[in-house]
Structure 1
Amino acid sequence: MTWNQEFERWNNFADLDPALRTELDRLQQDEQSLEDAYYKNLEFGTGGMRGKLGPGTNRMNIYTIRRAAEGLAAYVESKNAKEQGVVVAYDSRYMSQEFSIETAKVLGRHGIQSYVFSSLRPTPELSFAVRHLGAAAGVVVTASHNPPEYNGFKAYNSDGGQLPPNEASTVIDMVNKVENELEVEVAEQSEIEASGLLKWIDEEVDKAYLDALQSVHVHPRISEIAKDLSVVFTPLHGTAKMLVEKGLQSMGVQNVHTVEEQAQPDPEFSTVASPNPEEHQAFEMAIKKGKELGSDILIATDPDADRLGVAVPDESGEYQVLTGNQTGALLIDYLLSQSEQVPKNGIVIKTIVTSEFGRVIANHYGASSLDTLTGFKFIGEKIKEYEETGEHSFLFGYEESYGYLVKDFARDKDAVQAAVLSAEVAAYWKSKGMTLLEALEELYQQHGYFLEDLQSLTMEGKSGSEQIEEIMNDFRSNPPKNAGGLKVLAVEDYSTSERLTTEGDKEVIELPKANVLKFILENDSWFCLRPSGTEPKIKFYYGVKTSSKEDSQNLIKSLKETVNEQINRTV
């Protein structure tokens, strides 16, 4: 169908939800927005789906949620796992609770058991709950750190990880077989509650998760070294407040100061421009409170609590927000340095766009490392594989985008685990008379000055998607031979699984196919292009290593100039 025909199909649907009907009537005055809402189905990809709220096949609404849930129901039925059921959690966004109930109603129509949290919970607790309850699958309704007008539907397998490619492909096919999202049948909420097909869960799972959280601690005298630590914490209007506060208190931190203005759930995220701890402005209120209290560490979690940001004071008392790569390096170094014995088969797992710093630190302590594609589902998939084969012992997994996993009782990035471990690392270095920045500087002196940067271009709508495709095609067909004054040694094209060197040698990349390009340069430097799978963005990653901060900063700047010149010639 054309977008006009799709619109007419919705417009002529007599039983359209009243709120969506009102919005659809308003939308008819804006043809460009109307086309964007109907020119395609909201894509259900390997990470589920995410999009703007509103009427339309390309929007998040009760009908596109039902379509996704219908496909998931078919997947559970194909596994003969109706009784195992599906766990459903949701965050603080508009319509999150409603979408969770719609999911349970679709599942209930198929006779599938659903376990739904009675109030908002973090994504990592959903991952834990799937494993704890022995469920066949999980769903969390969230758009992570996207703007307020977004929401999403993330699907998990029985291992508690986001669906890896093979399983995701099966679910995607089943979702795509749903021809008319307006006609997906649902059960009545009261009926599935009465029959027990909808069970509300909360405190029992909370307790089990908090018990498991104790295993994250490393130091034998954690309560002793943590008692004088001053922590400022902000959940950025999201889901992490209860679990992080209890986790910090149970480890002995007596001075936990929550940013009260950001403590309550708020779908508008009204105190920040973006509820993303990667953005330094998200720390403004925490920094103000930290300066008032002279706190040792500031911790921020994104709305669904799978990402963690950390800020620490420098010599002048100003707070510096650490990058995800820097926090990851500090956590890896602490975990391995404090281990009585690093397992011979121990492994740190990171992504292809994450700093080489972590690999160097892991190797220093005798551990190996592995790169996966971007997306924590690939890290979770490897954890499961190693658990089954015994080939490696999982030590730590992380992404540069502020996602970390310390212990594998969850199989997705876990900001609650990362929060309590970051506080422990800060307490440890404080007991040695050092700040986290000073500890980081020691690592640079020991291993080299690694520096990374990220640049994003937002290109919304149909035209934006076309521009992103043009950029990727141009870098594929016209790869730069030099960047930032450095020679390009090889190009890795993950869409073809090939690594082509400038000498003409071809190597196979043993990773799933993905629309990603990585350019390997001289002197341990690199840059990478990757369209986002969840946002209308293309991302450019840069990584360098030199002997000083100034040299690394200058080299990053030169790399970005080279890349931007080619982008500007393309769009």
Structure 2
Amino acid sequence: MERDLIAQAKTWLAEDPDPETREELARLIDAGDTTELSARFGGTLQFGTAGLRGELGAGPLRMNRAVVIRAAAGLAAYLKKQGHTGGTVVIGYDARHKSADFALDTAAVMVGAGLKAALLPKPLPTPVLAFAIRHLGAVAGIEVTASHNPPRDNGYKVYLGDGSQIVPPADAEIAAEIASIESLADVPRPSAGWETLRETIVEAYLERTDAVLTNGSARDVRVVYTPMHGVGRTVLTAAFERAGFPAPTVVAEQAEPDPDFPTVAFPNPEEPGAMDLAFATAREAAPDIVIANDPDADRCAVAVPDPESVEGWRMLRGDEVGALLATHLVHKKAQGTFTTTIVSSSLLSHIAAAAPGADYEETLTGFKWLARVDGLRYAYEEALGYCVDPEGVRDKDGITAALLVAELAAELKESGRTLTDLLDDLAVEHGLHATDQLSVRVQDLSLISDAMRRLREQPPTVLAGLQVSSAEDLAKGSEALPATDGLRYHLAGDAAGEVSGARVIVRPSGTEPKIKCYLEVVVPVASAIALTDARARATEVLAAIKSDLSRAAGI
């Protein structure tokens, strides 16, 4: 076994095109480090609807140039079988370690396969890539990014010609093409032949952002902004300037792209501590709102003043921002389908039901599903992703979402109100829809499958004193939803009428080693005066559900 492992590693070493990973692998072979070699050669990174994502390093279970070249060759073969020979593939990349190398390798493979390749001119937000696919009439697009993952990771996200991410069966068909590649020597990689796009593609994206805002609407809003060491700053500040908003105050320590993300444990606005520097800047600058993008700027986080908080600021949940943006679009008389995912708040369904010309639909988690809804006008997912201009970007877009949030905050400010005031109005009108998440990061992935098995074998009947009125195994699929690894529980309200109902969804994360439990409690609110008590009751019930569910799942 050990001899086979060493032989496998030597075979990989012989065709690895990257001097850095060759040196790294040679050291492991020379040291006879079979534990580490097993971790890298015990399988291959699996290509799925999210493309590829993993830790950087040598070997088939890591992200590296050899893995990317195979992935690019598999995608090229798939596209040609779909009749797209000679079509254009647009390639974008962020500022992570190796992103530019992976993008260049992809361009070379596409040209070598007889396709045209167009490379974005520099590290840019993922939404610019998603826009460019539709704008240029490309047959596919690739974004090299690991989004908000830790610094040691990178990834490879694939879009098809409609500008939306891949869904089954395309993922399996591409994976089969990747698996059929026997040697990198079989993959032609010319040293030239692709086009590097000019800055005009960024200008075209910025021109498209005009469609998001209403001519003559309010613009007086002060913003503190952090790109979280990512690539969002230049595009976002240009978009704000173009729209006529005051220049945001940028968090200086996080303003420049840095693949090591030195000021945060995880470059994700949702993670504890990630917004500390933004809040510190806000205490000095006294803005109306704080806005953050994740490193590839496809997500948008918003914080509002909160005198009761130690930081003086409160992060809005993705569901709260989702409801605010939906309400703003309804007020702008937007028509079409408003959609969100099964793990997001049900509040959007009530907002859409009360709006003339608005339909509502739910999908599985991820914009790969949301973007495919017929008649789409607005989509969001609770993980800070919002699509506010589906004709321009058929994916989540943290830049245009930030513009729309700023417009809403400015309009409210003009009438002496705030985002918090509008959230209160929604709670009184539709009931307080309080959401929370139980998210557990693991080192051993078997802990996730064990928890899912435990819940399937012994489903809870009561959570937080509320009866489980229905338990649904989403792996079985339905007419409304394709099969997915997840569990959904609906909980009845309490006898006192203090809780209208609750919902719990449990699923493994598709991009990180986490099990995620999405919780929602709905509490009726008779008037604004009752909001404080309603929030206290919702917080109490959510905490109890977390505790009971954690016990039931063994996490």
Superposition pairs for residues 108-507 of structure 1, below 5 Å?
108-180=111-183, 182-189=184-191, 191-192=192-193, 198-218=194-214, 220-222=215-217, 225-226=218-219, 228-315=220-307, 318-339=312-333, 342-343=334-335, 346-366=336-356, 367-382=358-373, 386=374, 393-408=375-390, 409-460=392-443, 464-497=444-477
Query: Letter of the aligned partner of 2:8 in structure 1?
Result: R
Determine the C-alpha separation between the residues in 2 that align with 1:360 and 1:530.
Answer: 25
Query: Which deviates the most, 29-38 or 401-410?
Result: 29-38
Q: 1:500 corresponds to which residue?
A: none
Determine the C-alpha separation between the residues in 2 that align with 1:65 and 1:312.
Answer: 41
Runs of 4+ in 1 over 4 A off after TM superposition: none
1:541 and 2:544 matched: no
2:545 to 533, 554, 559: 559
TM-score w.r.t. length of structure 2: 0.92
Q: 2:491 corresponds to which residue?
A: 521
8 Å CA contact retained: 1:3, 1:39: no
SS at match of 1:411: coil
Determine the C-alpha separation between the residues in 2 that align with 1:56 and 1:557.
Answer: 43
8 Å CA contact retained: 1:229, 1:255: no
User: 1:319 deviation in Å?
Assistant: 1.2
Provide closer, same or farther for how the CA distance between residues 376 and 419 of structure 1 changes in structure 2, counting only shifts above 3 A. same
User: 1:186 deviation in Å?
Assistant: 3.5
Q: 1:5 corresponds to which residue?
A: 4
Determine the C-alpha separation between the residues in 2 that align with 1:353 and 1:237.
Answer: 28
Query: Which deviates the most, 58-67 or 522-531?
Result: 522-531
Provide closer, same or farther for how the CA distance between residues 179 and 492 of structure 1 changes in structure 2, counting only shifts above 3 A. farther
The percent identity for this pair of structures is 37
Provide closer, same or farther for how the CA distance between residues 27 and 439 of structure 1 changes in structure 2, counting only shifts above 3 A. farther
Q: 1:23 corresponds to which residue?
A: 24
SS at match of 1:115: strand
Q: 1:511 corresponds to which residue?
A: 481
Q: 1:389 corresponds to which residue?
A: none
SS at match of 2:365: coil
Query: Which deviates the most, 280-289 or 41-50?
Result: 280-289
User: 1:526 deviation in Å?
Assistant: 1.1
8 Å CA contact retained: 2:121, 2:199: no
Query: Letter of the aligned partner of 2:149 in structure 1?
Result: N
8 Å CA contact retained: 1:3, 1:35: no
SS at match of 1:495: helix
8 Å CA contact retained: 1:372, 1:379: yes
Determine the C-alpha separation between the residues in 2 that align with 1:115 and 1:413.
Answer: 22
Where structure 1 has 5 or more consecutive residues not aligned to the other structure, the ranges are: 193-197, 387-392, 498-507
User: 1:365 deviation in Å?
Assistant: 1.7
8 Å CA contact retained: 1:49, 1:534: no
- Can you list the C-alpha shifts for 1:302-356, whole angstroms capped at 9, x where unaligned? 11111110011135692111000001111111110232xx54xx22110000001
Q: 2:529 corresponds to which residue?
A: none
Query: Which deviates the most, 413-422 or 443-452?
Result: 443-452
- Can you list the C-alpha shifts for 1:93-120, whole angstroms capped at 9, x where unaligned? 0000000011111112212110001210
Query: Letter of the aligned partner of 1:412 in structure 2?
Result: D
User: 1:34 deviation in Å?
Assistant: 2.4
Determine the C-alpha separation between the residues in 2 that align with 1:531 and 1:176.
Answer: 25
Query: Letter of the aligned partner of 1:122 in structure 2?
Result: P
Q: 2:530 corresponds to which residue?
A: none
- Can you list the C-alpha shifts for 1:162-197, whole angstroms capped at 9, x where unaligned? 0122322322222222244x44524232x32xxxxx
8 Å CA contact retained: 1:262, 1:271: yes
TM-score w.r.t. length of structure 1: 0.90
Q: 2:527 corresponds to which residue?
A: none
- Can you list the C-alpha shifts for 1:195-236, whole angstroms capped at 9, x where unaligned? xxx000131211111111100013x422xx21x311111111
User: 1:509 deviation in Å?
Assistant: 4.3
Query: Letter of the aligned partner of 1:486 in structure 2?
Result: L
Provide closer, same or farther for how the CA distance between residues 562 and 129 of structure 1 changes in structure 2, counting only shifts above 3 A. same
SS at match of 1:562: helix
User: 1:521 deviation in Å?
Assistant: 1.3
Determine the C-alpha separation between the residues in 1 that align with 2:407 and 2:39.
Answer: 47
Determine the C-alpha separation between the residues in 1 that align with 2:337 and 2:3.
Answer: 53
Determine the C-alpha separation between the residues in 2 that align with 1:20 and 1:315.
Answer: 50
Determine the C-alpha separation between the residues in 2 that align with 1:147 and 1:315.
Answer: 32
RMSD, aligned CA: 1.8
Provide closer, same or farther for how the CA distance between residues 430 and 3 of structure 1 changes in structure 2, counting only shifts above 3 A. farther
User: 1:280 deviation in Å?
Assistant: 4.6
SS at match of 1:533: coil
User: 1:15 deviation in Å?
Assistant: 4.4
Q: 2:528 corresponds to which residue?
A: none
Where structure 2 has 5 or more consecutive residues not aligned to the other structure, the ranges are: 494-500, 525-533
Query: Letter of the aligned partner of 2:199 in structure 1?
Result: E
SS at match of 1:309: strand
Determine the C-alpha separation between the residues in 2 that align with 1:525 and 1:482.
Answer: 11
Provide closer, same or farther for how the CA distance between residues 183 and 476 of structure 1 changes in structure 2, counting only shifts above 3 A. farther
